[in-house]
């Protein structure tokens, strides 16, 4: 009984893996299938959110994969397929956020911060190097002369 259960548990993941493979029909044209796969990697699974639909086992991800293949087979390029999905689900469905006014801060903040820090560091380093010590006044000059003279005598 125990052994049967163990065997069942061992076989279970295999069955699950096989199930994923069986219900997918890749496109007949390998180039088109590769293109569809590339698009799938860029599309977010809405149920699991941080997976692409290529990685996800969710039902909805499977439906979306079917749609991507359909659109590619109909001759759509990557931009057209993405536009089709964005029209329905919004920019959310793209794993890489598009560059537009709403996302300027998102895209530009890290390089801007880096540039600002680099500029700050540069200015500080240069200021430290450039500022020459102030010229000696009369009293300091006299002390310097005394010290030099002392050293000359010994």
CA–CA distance, 120 with 10 (Å, rounded to integer) = 60
Smallest distance, another protein to C-beta of residue 60, A:
6
CA–CA distance, 21 with 15 (Å, rounded to integer) = 10
Residue in the block written with tokens 């044209």: 29
Smallest distance, another protein to C-beta of residue 114, A:
15
66 CB-near residues (< 8 Å, 6+ apart): none
Stretch that binds another protein, among 75-83, 85-93, 123-131, 137-145 (CB under 8 A): 85-93
Footprint of another protein on 54-73 (CB under 8 A)? 59-60, 63-64, 67
Smallest distance, another protein to C-beta of residue 105, A:
12
Determine, following the binding rule CB under 8 A, whether residue 47 of this chain makes contact with another protein.
yes
Burial of 53 from C-beta contacts in 10 A (0-12 / 13-18 / 19+)? buried
Stretch that binds another protein, among 84-92, 100-108, 121-129, 144-152 (CB under 8 A): 84-92
Smallest distance, another protein to C-beta of residue 16, A:
19
Determine, following the binding rule CB under 8 A, whether residue 88 of this chain makes contact with another protein.
yes
Burial of 51 from C-beta contacts in 10 A (0-12 / 13-18 / 19+)? middle
Interacting residue ranges for another protein, rule: CB under 8 A:
46-47, 49, 59-60, 63-64, 67, 86-92
């Amino acid at each position: 009984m125990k052994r049967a259960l163990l065997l069942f548990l061992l076989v279970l993941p295999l069955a699950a893996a096989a199930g994923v493979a069986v219900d997918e029909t890749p496109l007949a044209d390998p180039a088109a299938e590769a293109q569809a796969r590339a698009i799938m990697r860029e599309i977010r699974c809405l149920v699991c959110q941080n997976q692409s639909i290529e990685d996800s086992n969710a039902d909805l991800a499977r439906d979306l994969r079917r749609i991507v293949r359909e659109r590619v087979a109909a001759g759509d390029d990557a931009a057209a397929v993405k536009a089709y999905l964005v029209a329905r689900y919004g920019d959310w469905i793209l794993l890489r956020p598009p560059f537009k006014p709403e996302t300027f801060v998102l895209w530009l903040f890290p390089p801007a911060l880096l540039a600002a820090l680099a500029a700050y560091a540069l200015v500080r380093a240069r200021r430290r190097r450039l500022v020459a010590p102030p010229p000696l006044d009369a009293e300091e000059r006299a002390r310097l002369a005394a010290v030099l003279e002392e050293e000359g005598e010994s």
